[in-house]
Structure formats: structure tokens, C-alpha cells
Structure 1
Amino acid sequence: MNVTIIDVAKKAGVSPSTVSRVISGSTRISAATTEKVKAVMEELGYHPNLMAKNLVSRTTMTIGLLLPRNADEAFLDLFFSEVTRGILSQATRAGYDLLLKTGKSEQEELEAVTRLAKGRRVDGIILLQSRRDDTVIRYLLQEKFPFVLIGRDPERPDILSVDNDNVQGAYDVTRHLLELGHRRIGYAGGPLELVVSSDRYEGYRRALAESGIEPDPRWVFGADLIRQDSTAAVRALMEQPERPTALVVMDDLLAFSLLGSLSELGWSVPGDMAVFGFNDNPMSPVSTPPVSSVDIGVYQLGLQAAGLLLKSIKNEEIAERRVIVPHRLLPRESSQPPGS
């Protein structure tokens, strides 16, 4: 027997239009009625024709997620899997699917987003990073296509975004190391054209400046150098006549590489070098030694971004266009006073 929307309505004691609204995820229907209608749909084995519904409503019930590197690399970093988990949780709850796209360069990212927006393959897009004068963001604004940025765009502070206060986070880490007695503190981060990288570097620089310390450029190096040859980068750092006793590190994956290379070269953490990372990778508490890190609420970043995007897609009122997820420091054994 072919069950119709009318059969569901009759069994649930509601109108066919109410069943239709429940299927489309309308917030105008009470939770009790929604649950009753869904229970009847399951009991009768009714499956809405989503393709036909989407053609009528001109929606895809899908949101896009742009990963800033190819998929193989992205999911080696648990930041991306955890933020995706938050997005997927919120999207699934609202009856939306998630479509992932990747790009190895800014041009590839722009091409991927153009295909999604022009082809109306998704109803909105979540971006996981921004650059200064970002062409992807410029394109989406020009097309008036719904999107949310996980991060910050310094040129366009009014766009919908979810972020941490990365300046304050790196400031707090550097202050913590200063309070432990470190005065020679280095920084290992990403390219400064990425806003998150420049923000964290700025927080590091501010904390040092407050203590009358100028960052030593010999102790500031990029993530790419570590990824290419961590051992060579560490050797060059540690063989300097005056070397740092602590490092603020852009993320925990980089911190793990540094720990491995320091150990390989015969240096100890935290005795010879204190290390403090970001993102609180699940491996950080169980590494050797356990890595100090900043919990930036990665799951919450994804959850909040998806919620904000869905409100934008549905033209619902948005109280805050920029949502800040709080961070917290998690000092562990890798960050101790000098010479510990």
C-alpha cells in the first residue's frame, strides 16, 4: 500500500498542511505535535518524497562545508573531524544533509564554492578559515549566498561568524609561561596571512611586550618548516648560542612533532623546553609527556556555526552576528618552570 500524506494526517488527527510543515522542519509546529506526526509516519512507513518537496520549495536541505586542504590531510587533524561532528549534529537535528568540499589552494577553494553556489547544490556554506582579503568570502558576499565563517574576517567584521578570541588565547598561554619564570619564549605557528595565525601571534607578542620583552625573530618559525623537516627545525633552534626555554605552538599536531624531534635529538620536555599547544587534541593528555593545550571548544564551534547558518537560510532573526566560544587553558606536564 502506498502511504500518502493524507493517510498520515488522518491517523495523527491533524491537517495535511501540518504534516507538510513537520516534514519541512517548520518551527511553527509544537514539539508535541511534531513528535506525534513523526511517530505516525514511522508507524505507517511513510517516507516523504524529498526531491519533489525540494523542487517545490527551491531548497536542497543540504549545507556545504569547505575544508581548507584535501580530505586525506584534513582528517588526519582531529580539529576538522571534531568541528565536522558539531556541524553534522546540528544539521541532522534540523533534517539537513552535509556536503564536504576541499581545496588545496585559495583558487581551488573558490572554484569549489562557485560550483556549490551557482549550481544551487547547497542552501548555505560553512567556511573553516579565512585569509586577509579572502576571495572566497568576497565571492559569497557578492552572490548574496548564505554562509558562516568559523574564524574572523578583519575586513568584514559584520559577517556571520563563530570564533574564539585567538589573540586572548595566545596572550593567556604566553602569560602562563611568563608566570612560570620563562623569559625566552619562542613561537611556532602557521602563515600570517591566515587570520587565526596572525591573531595568535599578536597575542603572544602582546604578552611579551607587557613584560618588556621583544620577540626574537630567531625563535619564531612557521608550521610548514616543522612539517617538512621537524628534526632540522628543532636542531637549528636548539643549537643557537641563546635558545628559548619555552614554545607557544599553533596546534597540538605541531607540538607532537616538536616533542618527537626534541626527544630524538636528546633534549627533554619540559626540562630543556616547555611546550604549550592549542586545540586540545584527544592525544594530548596521554602523550609523553602530556601536552599542555588550549581547549577552544572545537565541537561547539561546529555546533554554533551550523545553528547560525540554518537561521540565516530560514531568514530567522539572528541576535548575534559574531559568536565567541570561550577557551580555557589546560596546563599539563609539558609546561613547567625552566629547568624542571
Structure 2
Amino acid sequence: MSVTIKDVAKKAGVSPSTVSRVLSNHPRISRETSRKVKIILDEMGYHPNIMAQSLVSKTTNSICVILPKSAEELFLNSFFMELVRGIVTQANRSGYDVVLSSGGSEQEEVEVVSRLINGKRVDGAILLYSRKDDAVVEFLHSNHHPFVLIGRSEKYPDLLSVDNDNIQAAYDATKHLISFGHKRVGFVSGPPNHVVSQDRLKGYQRALEESGLEMRKDWIVEGEFLQESGYRAMSFFMNLPERPTALVVVDDFVSFGVLRGLHELGFKVPDDLSIVSFNNISIAELSTPPLTSIDIGIYNLGYTASQALIQSIQHNGEKQFQKRNIIPHRLVVRESSMISVNGNNE
């Protein structure tokens, strides 16, 4: 015969409603009571009836994560996997399950989210990136569904979101190269409809302007967050009559393509071209040469987004939380940028 909440409550010396609150991680239950009840739950081998709980509480204790539409972008770029790791870790600690989903287009993404939330299969959603005029954001916002955006929305600046100061981060990356004497600094960007690409471009532009340096359109190349974009960019850059001596690259994974393209063309980093990248993924220090990169706290971005969404769900609008959460960044200097334009190692 299966163990019931009443059985657990009797042994723990608490009410059945207290056991239910412990199971739902209710914030008003003390740590001591929660710990005692959880020990007894484990001892008695209690397994909650999720379907029954959902009918009573009208919640699912599940959240969904909307993944990039490109499977290649997701599974090859460890940035997204590290984000998801942070999300899942925090969700599990809060007693929530995570549903991963995707769509081949924005409209398909809207349909997926609508099916999951309106079908009462999840309580809220996390979007891993922000786009201009994003149909998914529009749907969630207009229907008042709980969600968190990793990034920022130009249209709705007061959305619950987790982000970096990407303008400042790109400014810092560009100024680092300028400090080594570089006056011809290029930029390898991401998709132009992604807000993070726009913000990092703004930071790059601001650093050039403050330093009195020229910003040339032929030194800016747009692409996807994929190695192939960086690889193709090198065919373009290194055939210019006057090419950059340094590059700010929007993403580490794109930088790996840059390094591959330069190697095949017979150029060396940082001797012929210095590079500063973004994200500081785990294998950035293992590339040849190791990449100078802006560490944006990827795991912390995911963890904080999960935490913010679950708090919002649990309090159901009763409490005002900080809407915009900014995760600090830092420049991690490695060999890809540690040479001045006169060829001296610094």
C-alpha cells in the first residue's frame, strides 16, 4: 500500500497541509520543519502523485526552456549547454522539473509555448536569448504568462530579465585591444536581430569613438553564433587591401572558426591578428592560442533566471522582485591578445 501525506504528517507530528507545503517548497515553512519532514518522506519512501498535486494546487512544478531553433547552434555551442546547466541545477533545488523545447521558426516557438503553458504542462518559461520584435516575448507578455528573458527587450524594458551589461563588456574588450596600440580594430558580430549583437556592437563603437579611431563598415561582419561564421569572416577580412590588426568577436565559438580560418590562410594569432572574444566557455583556454575572453558568468545567468522565474511563480505577483538582474563580467586575458602592434609581447 502506498504511503500518503497523512501517514507522513502523523509520523512527523505536523498537519497534512504542512507536508504539502514542504513538498511545494513553500517559502513560509521553516528550514527546520522542512528538513524534518523531508527526512521522514525519504524514510517512508513517499512519492508524490504529480497529477493529483497539479489538480489541487493548479501548478505543475515544471518550467520550460525555449531553446535556439538551430540544433547545431545548441549542441555545438557549449554556451547554451552551460546556461541550461545553471537553470536545471536551481530548478531541481527548488523542486521543479525542466522541459526543454524548441521550434523551427518564431511562430512555431509561439505554438510550442502556448501548448505547454495553456495546456497546464508548465508554470512558466525561460527564453535563452532576446530578439528584436520577438513574437514569443509578445505572446507571453500580452497573455500575462510568467517568464524570464535572458537578455533584454527593447520594447518592454521592465520585463523580468537576467543579462550582462553587454555594451560595457564590448567596450572593455575593445579598449583592451586599443591599449596594446591597435588602431585598426574589426568586429565579428552575431545575428543582427539579436539584442546582444546590437549591444556589443554599440560598446565596440563607443570605445573606438572615445579613442578617436575610425569605425569602418568593411571591418564589421555579421553572422550566426557558429564556427562557420567566424571561418567565413576570415576569408573576407584577410583579403581586404587594408585589414584590421585586431578583432572583437561576439562569441568564443565563433572565435574558434576565426582561428581555423586564419590558420588555413597562413596567419598567426596574435602575431598577425589579435583577438578578444566573449563568454569564456570552458574550452576557450584550450584553443591555440588560448583565447582572451570576457567571462559573462554563463552558469550564473541560467541559475539566476531559473531562480527569478520560480520566485515569480510561487508568489503569483504578491511580491515585487527586482525586474532586471545584471550579472557582472570580467576580462580574462590570455595569449590571443597579448602582443602589441609593434610585435612585442606584453
> Which TM bucket (shorter chain)?
over 0.9
| Superposition pairs of residues 252-263 of structure 1, within 5 angstroms | 252-263=252-263
Look up the equivalent residue of 1:154 and give its one-letter code. E
1:332 paired with 2:334, answer: yes
Q: Which amino acid aligns with 1:221?
A: V
The reply to whether residue 220 of structure 1 matches residue 220 of structure 2 is yes
More displaced, 263-272 or 236-245?
236-245
1:29-40 to structure 2, matched below 5 A, reads 29-40=29-40
Structure 2 equivalent of residue 114 of structure 1: 114
Deviation at residue 32 of structure 1 after TM alignment: 1.0
Asked whether 1:11 is paired with 2:8, we answer no
Q: Which aligned runs of 4 or more in structure 1 are off by greater than 6 angstroms?
A: none
Which residue in the other structure is 1:76 paired with? 76
Partner of 2:320: 318
In 1: Cα distance, 2:289 partner to 2:147 partner: 40
Distance in 1 of aligned mates of 2:271 and 2:226:
21
Q: 1:235 to 1:47 in 2, by over 3 A?
A: closer
- Following TM superposition, by how much is the alpha carbon of 1:226 offset from its aligned partner in structure 2, in angstroms? 7.4
User: What is the deviation of 1:228?
Assistant: 4.7
Q: What SS class does the counterpart of residue 223 from structure 1 fall into?
A: coil
Question: Equivalents in 2 of 1:29, 1:100: separation in Å?
Answer: 30
One-letter code aligned to 1:61: N
Q: Is the contact made by 1:175 and 1:207 (CA closer than 8 Å) also made in structure 2?
A: yes
Alpha-carbon deviations, 1:261-283, whole Å to 9, x = none?
A: 10111100000000111000111
The equivalent residue for 1:23 is 23
Q: State the alpha-carbon separation in 2 of the partners of residues 275 and 194 from structure 1.
A: 22
Counterparts in 2 of 1:1-340, with a 5 A limit?
1-224=1-224, 227-228=227-228, 231-315=231-315, 317-336=319-338, 337-338=340-341, 339-340=343-344
SS at match of 1:314: helix
Could you state the TM-score of these two structures normalised by the residue count of structure 1? 0.96
Asked if the contact 2:127/2:149 (under 8 Å) is kept, the reply is yes
Alignment partners' CA distance in 2, 1:19 and 1:225: 46
CA contact (8 A) 2:225 2:254 kept: no
Q: 1:158 and 1:279, CA in 2 relative to 1: closer, same or farther beyond 3 A?
A: same
Mapped to 2, the partners of 1:230 and 1:196 lie a distance apart of 17
Match of 1:329, SS state, is strand
CA–CA distance in 1 between the matches of 2:161 and 2:205? 25
Any stretches of 5+ residues in structure 1 without a counterpart? none
SS at match of 2:18: helix
Stretch moving more, 290-299 or 6-15: 6-15
Decide whether the 8 Å contact of 2:290 with 2:335 is kept in 1.
yes
The Cα shift of 1:31 comes to 0.7
Aligned partners of 2:44, 2:21: CA distance in 1, in Å?
A: 18
Is the CA contact (8 Å cut-off) linking 1:166 and 1:196 kept in structure 2?
yes
Quickly say closer, same or farther: Cα 1:21–1:334, change in 2 above 3 A: same
Residues 195-221 of structure 1 deviation map (CA, whole Å, 9 limit, x = unaligned): 000000000000000111231111110
- Are the aligned partners of 1:308 and 1:318 in contact in 2 as well (CA < 8 Å)? no
TM-aligned CA deviation for residue 305 of structure 1: 0.5
Q: Is the 8 A contact 2:229 2:254 kept in 1?
A: no
The residue type paired with residue 335 of structure 2 is: E
Please say if residues 68 and 109 of structure 1, whose CA atoms lie closer than 8 Å, have aligned partners that are also in contact. no
Report the Cα offset of residue 225 of structure 1: 10
Contact 2:83 2:299 in 1 (8 A): yes
**Which stretches in structure 2 are left out of the alignment for 5+ residues?**
none
Aligned partners of 1:281, 1:225: CA distance in 2, in Å? 13
**CA deviation after TM superposition for structure 1 residue 54, in Å:** 0.7
Q: What is the TM-score with the length of structure 2 in the denominator?
A: 0.94
Q: Structure 2 CA distance, aligned partners of 1:147 and 1:215?
A: 38
Match for 1:17: what amino acid?
S
| 1:121 Cα deviation from its structure 2 partner | 1.6
- The two structures, once aligned, show a CA RMSD in angstroms of 1.6
Number of residues of Structure 1 aligned to a counterpart in Structure 2: 340
Greater shift in the superposed pair: 101-110 or 230-239: 230-239
Question: Is 1:311–1:318's contact at 8 Å kept on the other side of the alignment?
Answer: no
Amino acid aligned to 1:36: K
